[in-house]
Amino acid sequence: MTNALLRNARLIDPEAGTETLGWLRIEGGQIAEIGAGPRAGGIDCQGAYLAPGIIDIGVKVGEPGERHKESFRTAGRAAAAGGVTTMVTRPDTATPIDTPEVLEFVTRRAQEDAAVKVRPMAALTKAREGREMTEIGFLIDAGAVAFTDGDAVTTDPKVLSRCMTYARSLGALIVGHPQDPGLSLGGAVTSGKFASLRGLPAVSPMAERMGLERDLALVEMTGVRYHADQITTATALPALSRAKAAGLDVTAGISIHHLTLNAFDVGDYRTFFKVKPPLRDEDDRVAMVSAVRDGLIDIICSMHTPQDEESKRLPFEAAASGAVGLETLLPAALRLYHAGALSLPELFRALALNPARRFGLAGGRLQPGTPADLVMFDPDIPYVLDRFALQSKSKNTPFDGQRMQGRVLRTWVDGAVVFDRQNGAQA
Amino acid sequence: MHRGRAMTFSQTHLLGIENLHPVEITTLLDRANAYAEAERGSREHGQPLKGLTQINMFFEASTRTQASFEIAGKRLGADVMNMAMAASSLKKGETLIDTALTLNAMHPDLLVVRHPHSGAVKLLADKVNCAVLNAGDGKHEHPTQALLDALTIRRAKGRLHRLVIAICGDIAHSRVARSNIHLLGKMENRVRLIGPPTLIPAGAADWGVEVYGDMAEGLKDADVVMMLRLQKERMDGAFIPSEREYFHRFGLNAEKLSFAKPDAIVMHPGPMNRGVEIDGNIADDINRSVIQEQVEMGVAVRMAAMALLAENLRARRAA
């Protein structure tokens, strides 16, 4: 059923920055019409919020190579249950996505199994080794929406500058991981009183600013379109602000974990809180929330990184990094709303509108003529999160056992329901 | 009777100093002192660990600490077994937790563990139902070392409060320093850290200590001078320009020691690098150095720790 009328819904329009009680009509999988006020017929949303589906950039799926951690089927289910209608996937898989052939495999697997849209990113250099650039042109033809080596930071500026120059000629977007590779080597937590007391190898927050400054200098030199995957420290913000003011084509993102957790959450070596870059001090977290509100940081994502139990049941230094986040992205983001830090339109600007704009995708808006990728949610439902209730194959969430407020009720992709909490239906 | 004990030392494991109450520290030191006196006077101290199995698991090479735990266990009647884990199952890919579960199935009563990763001993302790003693985890804690240092200080100075104690050298890589900072702080002493800034951990100034970069200033009026070993094996790059420059600026010799109180004692957790962090003449000066007494107190403190944990273990099992 790709025709529907949804009435009595609070429509969140991140473009206009408004919340309006009204209705929305879906026809042929697209948003056909939107209006304010009451309307007869269709589905009564009973005052629930209706927003553009989340576009989560930087999702890691375990295919190819680590399907035991996450498959397109389980990632798709988790996405649908979390109100994510498009996953922009990462190429840092066990077999890196660095050739058109591997990219085609991924696209085919996604089409077969994923309940939501999948738009893959490809590696910037072969095997993510930072030596030779990938076939950027072929990869764009095969559907790559951006190029990144993920956390394997290219150490050689000459290689990176050539990649950028070449990418620019094709209009490709490069996603960088701003961390100075030398300073951040081996760091498991952010340096400071806590890390030192716990005796953990630590990295100075300055590594992020150094990585960003270097990348921005090369962006200025080459003119490439650049997105910093995660900016998590206040010390990096002035550089970002200057680059934007100077007219460079630069955007920045942050993971939801860095907006809602801090370094102290690691506590007694809890490895589910080990992420890359490491969680920061509370001062930094607060500064990042402000930066999202001000629009200096453009995009919030989950940095969904599935890890199996074995890779987390290790001493902190030896444990794998990363947390799953597709399903908890919106409930965690709603903490910022409940805390009064961000309005719902501001949240969806960072969760849906900005990623759509930056990655050239059609969704992310409540606009007639755009795909009916939608999420309906109630921001007030309270519950205690149980990690084993998550749809992801891997259960490594830092929010296990925590009180959450807000749940996705229903998710549509191209007008079709892919998740419905009430009926337990899952496409 | 057990209730009385539980109130003065209520721990199931000895994982660190951070979670100990000052009363528990005093209880443990009192017991250790009694053992030390009994050993010196060749008096009976009973065999509270008789019938118990103690396994020493050292994932990191150790001679002194392992020997100390072994002797302590044997003097109190435990059946002691040493496992050199560095050469064992880890090489075969077994995880720490599996190793713990395997050992647990053999029903040991006391598990003494040293591991190169911070937090690893706690991870292991969560999975077993015997008493676990941390014999050093990464750069985190080494509780029995801090306790033996405390007992040595208490015996030499007659008290363990209101003393000025300088910990000098490689603080950054030292679990001994961290445990000592916790313990000496809890007992209300003034703790100073002295070392080159590359070997002082980030944020150390927020630990309730005073940080100095100069020995003359830092040692002024100190009651206790605690030297640390330069942990070259834990360093992953250049922290100091050379050993001779380090010795010149931070090595303890008679001249630097003269800034401390005339009756200040000199301590070192061993093994010493003579001529790097400490002048051999100072280390051997029987009027100042208590380094040999530290080793002696090490056995007594480990006896006390295992005896108290065993009492709590027996009480739990009886309940």
ipTM of the complex: 0.86
Question: Is B96 within 8 Å of A186 when comparing Cβ atoms?
Answer: no
Question: Is B202 within 8 Å of A193 when comparing Cβ atoms?
Answer: yes
What pLDDT sits at residue B95? Answer: 82
Give Cα B239 distance to the centre of its chain: 24
What pLDDT sits at residue B45? Answer: 86
What residues of A are in contact with residue B117 (Cβ under 8 Å)? 315-318
Q: Give chain A's largest Cα–Cα span.
A: 64
Q: Are A49 and A379 in contact (CB under 8 A)?
A: yes
* Over residues B77-101, mean pLDDT: 79
Instruction: Please state, rounded to an integer, the average pLDDT across all residues of chain A.
Output: 96
Q: Are A201 and A269 in contact (CB under 8 A)?
A: no
Query: First and final CA of chain B: distance in angstroms?
Result: 14
Q: Please report which confidence band the pLDDT of residue B319 belongs to, taking 50, 70 and 90 as the band edges.
A: confident
Whether pLDDT at B3 is above 50: no
Nearest Cα residue in chain B from A190: B202
What pLDDT sits at residue B4? Answer: 43
* Over residues A133-160, mean pLDDT: 96
Q: What is the C-alpha separation between A358 and B121, in angstroms, rounded?
A: 46
Q: What is the DSSP string of B154-195?
A: HHHHS-SSS-EEEEES--TT-HHHHHHHHHHHHTT-EEEEES
What pLDDT sits at residue B2? Answer: 42
Residue that has been written with the tokens 């985190």 in this structure: B140
Tokens (6 digits) for A152: 């394997």
Q: What are phi and psi of B258, to 5 degrees?
A: -70, -15
Task: Determine the distance in angstroms separating the CA of B181 from the nearest CA of chain A, rounded to an integer.
Answer: 10
Please tell me if residue A314 touches chain B, with a CB cutoff of 8 Å.
yes
Q: Please report which confidence band the pLDDT of residue A123 belongs to, taking 50, 70 and 90 as the band edges.
A: very high
What pLDDT sits at residue B91? Answer: 61
Percent of chain B's residues with pLDDT above 70: 94
In 3-state terms, what secondary structure has residue A23?
strand
Q: What is the C-alpha separation between A55 and A354, in angstroms, rounded?
A: 9
Angle, helix B175-186 to helix B22-40, in steps of 10 degrees = 110
Question: Count of H helices and E strands in chain B?
Answer: 12, 9
User: Reading across the β-sheet that carries A84-89, which strands appear in turn?
Assistant: A54-59, A84-89, A117-120
Q: Pick B32 or B90 by higher pLDDT.
A: B32
Q: Please report which confidence band the pLDDT of residue B43 belongs to, taking 50, 70 and 90 as the band edges.
A: confident
* Over residues A262-285, mean pLDDT: 96
Nearest Cα residue in chain B from A194: B203
Q: What is the C-alpha separation between A164 and A376, in angstroms, rounded?
A: 39
Q: Please report which confidence band the pLDDT of residue A423 belongs to, taking 50, 70 and 90 as the band edges.
A: confident
What pLDDT sits at residue B92? Answer: 63
Instruction: Please state, rounded to an integer, the average pLDDT across all residues of chain B.
Output: 92
In 3-state terms, what secondary structure has residue A63?
coil
Write the CB contacts of B268 (distance below 8 Å, at least 6 apart in sequence).
B226, B227, B228, B229, B277, B278, B283, B289, B291, B294
pLDDT tens sequence across A201-255: 999 999 999 999 999 999 999 999 999 999 999 999 999 999 999 999 999 999 9
Q: Please report which confidence band the pLDDT of residue B96 belongs to, taking 50, 70 and 90 as the band edges.
A: confident
* Over residues A7-29, mean pLDDT: 96
Q: Where in the sequence numbering do the catalytic residues of B fall? A: 64-65, 92, 114, 142
Task: Determine the distance in angstroms separating the CA of A313 from the nearest CA of chain B, rounded to an integer.
Answer: 8
Write the CB contacts of B265 (distance below 8 Å, at least 6 apart in sequence).
B152, B153, B156, B157, B223, B224, B225, B288, B289, B290
Q: What is the C-alpha separation between B64 and A378, in angstroms, rounded?
A: 62
Nearest by CB: A316 against B118, B175, B236: B118
Whether pLDDT at B1 is above 70: no
Q: Pick B278 or B237 by higher pLDDT.
A: B278
Nearest by CB: A318 against B117, B137, B202: B117
pTM: 0.92
Q: Mutation target for B interface from A184, A189, A198: give the one with most B CBs within 10 A.
A: A198
Q: Are A142 and A199 in contact (CB under 8 A)?
A: no
Q: What are phi and psi of A359, to 5 degrees?
A: -100, 10
Q: Mutation target for A interface from B17, B60, B123: give the one with most A CBs within 10 A.
A: B123
Q: What are phi and psi of B111, to 5 degrees?
A: -120, 120
Task: Determine the distance in angstroms separating the CA of A292 from the nearest CA of chain B, rounded to an integer.
Answer: 28
Nearest by CB: A186 against B137, B178, B236: B236
Which residue intervals of A16-135 are DSSP H helices? 72-81, 100-113
What pLDDT sits at residue B89? Answer: 53
Q: What is the C-alpha separation between B268 and B289, in angstroms, rounded?
A: 9
Evaluated on CA atoms B272, B277, B281, B282, the torsion sign reads negative
Q: Are B293 and B301 in contact (CB under 8 A)?
A: no
pLDDT tens sequence across A371-384: 999 999 999 999 99
What pLDDT sits at residue B144? Answer: 98
What residues of B are in contact with residue A193 (Cβ under 8 Å)? 202-204, 206-207
Whether pLDDT at B261 is above 50: yes
What residues of A are in contact with residue B202 (Cβ under 8 Å)? 191-193, 195-196, 202, 204
Q: Are A336 and A260 in contact (CB under 8 A)?
A: yes
Percent of chain B's residues with pLDDT above 90: 80
What residues of B are in contact with residue A202 (Cβ under 8 Å)? 202
Q: Please report which confidence band the pLDDT of residue A87 belongs to, taking 50, 70 and 90 as the band edges.
A: very high
Which uninterrupted H or E stretch holds A33? strand A30-36
What residues of A are in contact with residue B140 (Cβ under 8 Å)? 198-199
Q: What is the C-alpha separation between B196 and B217, in angstroms, rounded?
A: 13
What pLDDT sits at residue A285? Answer: 98
Q: Are B14 and B309 in contact (CB under 8 A)?
A: yes
Q: What is the C-alpha separation between A245 and A240, in angstroms, rounded?
A: 9
Write the CB contacts of A13 (distance below 8 Å, at least 6 apart in sequence).
A19, A20, A345, A365, A366
Nearest by CB: A313 against B95, B140, B201: B95
pLDDT tens sequence across A106-117: 999 999 999 999
Nearest by CB: B201 against A186, A196, A310: A196
Please tell me if residue A12 touches chain B, with a CB cutoff of 8 Å.
no
Q: Which residue type occupies A180?
A: D
